[in-house]
Amino acid sequence: MQKRRYVGDAAFYKTALTVAMPIMAQNLITNLVNMLDNLMVGSLGTEPMSGVSIVNQLIFVFNLAIFGSMSGTGIFTAQYYGREDNEGIRYTLRFKLVSALLIFAVALTLLLLFPDQLIGLYLHGAEEAGDLTETLGCGRRYLSVMLFGLLPFALTQVFSDTMRETGDTVTPMAAGFAAVVINCGLNYLLIFGKCGFPALDVQGAAIATVTSRAAELFILLACMLLRKKKYPYLKGAFRSLYVPAACMAAFLRKGAPLFLNELLWSAGMSTLSAAYSLHGLTVVAASNISATVFNLFSIACMSMGVAIGIIVGKLLGANRHEEAVETARKLILFSELLGVGVGLLMFFGGSAVPLLYKTDPASKDLAAYFIRVDGVIMPAIAFANAAYFTLRSGGKTVVTFLFDSVFMWAVSVPAAFAMTLLFKSEIHTVFAVVQALDLLKCVVGFIMLKTRVWVRTIV
């Protein structure tokens, strides 16, 4: 009996994986290609790879801000879908669109006005560790092209997230697959100048990324237009941007904490990278390599978190509360077991990946160390991620804000700077301690799950 509380039958996991597998497949393809991109850019040298890595840190904040603006409203989309309320889904779609356009306008303004200042936040250390001026130049050239990809990315998230939240995870996966194939092929042609194309180094990588994002958006829109019956909420969705005041107030009340959470968390991650970069350009290169490997290996755990949010959110929207609790319990345990397996793979196998990069030996060795540390802490990351999406599914966005961003800025970021500037600790110690602090989030997440404050219908 006790076992059945935590372990589902084959049909249960088949249903869960039906939602999770397309998300995993899309993320796997994306991150594999990202690693190939990383290897291609890395073959140009430490400075180009570091410049691209720094710009991607800045764009990461934009990406997560878009994700946050979608996430809060997405809670309502999933619950409206559970109630078969297409009019409610239309309101969420309109709200997402307006939010994405506003965030795009702010990000574009900042990146156009202060490119050198923002890139310069990550450039520290002695010149012998790498040419800082050359790194700045590479980053500036890469950013000048990447700006054109911000709007397609934002609009893609509006439509792909709505599709997933309403049960269609396959179409976004297919569009994402096509995009990464385009990205990978153009990277090879434009970075190195193959088949008659010019060799554009970091700018070629940026052109490939922007083109692939535009292609992904085009594919999603084409699928929605050609299969209108599959998406009944699209009928009349854009005849206006009207959203009832009551709905807008609810979206803002639940969505604002999630938006701030993603914005502050991503800014916190970028600030952590800035703290690590105080140890020199070698650390920037190593962090870029290890982050790419982490994103690749953690796909299963991260995707299960998204799936938990969708599945549990739908059950809560249908007022099936006890079933939602039981489902969440089983999926969290499943996610944790995935975290243990992934952690072992990272520790014993992931640290070999840096050997594929054509960068300096010190960066490779440091990257391998970072990956081993991530492998040890992966089970904790998996549990925290599953807890986050479970709490979010019931609209507890203020709790998730405290759980995620406040923890980042109150604990992780101060610890990194204090150990670096006050205690003069080596980067090996700083990174390990900061990662280990995530264990505290697991304790908080477990307590919040046990209180059942998230078990509620909000639509």
The tokens for 24 are 């995993």
- Enter the tokens of residue 192: 């190195």
- Give the SS3 label for residue 352: helix
Structure tokens at 202: 């970091």
Backbone CA torsion sign across 368, 369, 374, 377: positive
Instruction: Please compute, for residue 320, the number of CA atoms within 13 A of its CA located in the half-sphere on the CB side.
Output: 14
Give Cα separations from 432 to 70, 371, 425 (angstroms): 32, 10, 11
- Which residue, chain included where needed, has tokens 């304790």? 443
Distance, CA of 323 to CA of 1 (rounded, Å): 16
What percentage of the chain's residues is helix, strand, coil (to nearest 5)? 85, 0, 15
59 class by beta-carbon count within 10 Å (0-12 exposed, 13-18 middle, 19+ buried): buried
> 10 Å Cβ neighbour count for 169?
24
In three-state secondary structure terms, 262 is helix
Report the SS3 class of residue 347.
Answer: helix
Asked whether 75 and 314 are in contact (CB, 8 A), the reply is no
- Taking the C-alpha atoms of residue 73 and residue 385, their distance in angstroms, rounded to an integer, is 19
Cβ atoms 338, 297 nearer than 8 A: no
CA separation for the pair 20, 267 (Å, rounded): 28
CB count within 10 Å of CB 36 equals 17
Between the alpha carbon of residue 318 and those of residues 76, 85, 322, 323, 332, the distances in Å are: 12, 11, 11, 10, 21
- Beta-carbon contacts of residue 164 (< 8 Å; ≥ 6 apart): 23, 172, 306, 310
pLDDT tens track, the chain, 459 positions: 455 677 777 888 888 888 888 778 767 776 776 677 777 887 887 788 888 888 988 888 898 889 888 877 888 898 888 888 999 999 999 999 999 999 999 999 999 999 999 998 888 754 444 578 888 999 999 999 999 999 999 999 999 999 988 988 889 989 988 998 899 899 999 999 999 999 999 999 999 999 999 999 999 999 999 988 899 999 888 888 899 999 889 888 877 877 888 788 888 888 998 899 898 888 888 988 898 889 888 888 888 888 888 888 888 888 888 988 899 999 999 999 999 999 999 999 887 888 888 778 888 999 999 999 999 999 999 999 999 889 888 777 777 777 788 889 999 999 999 999 999 999 999 999 999 998 998 998 898 888 888 888 776
Q: Which amino acid is at 396?
A: K
Residue ranges covered by each domain of the chain? 2-451
Of 219, 222, 155, the residue nearest 182 (C-alpha): 219
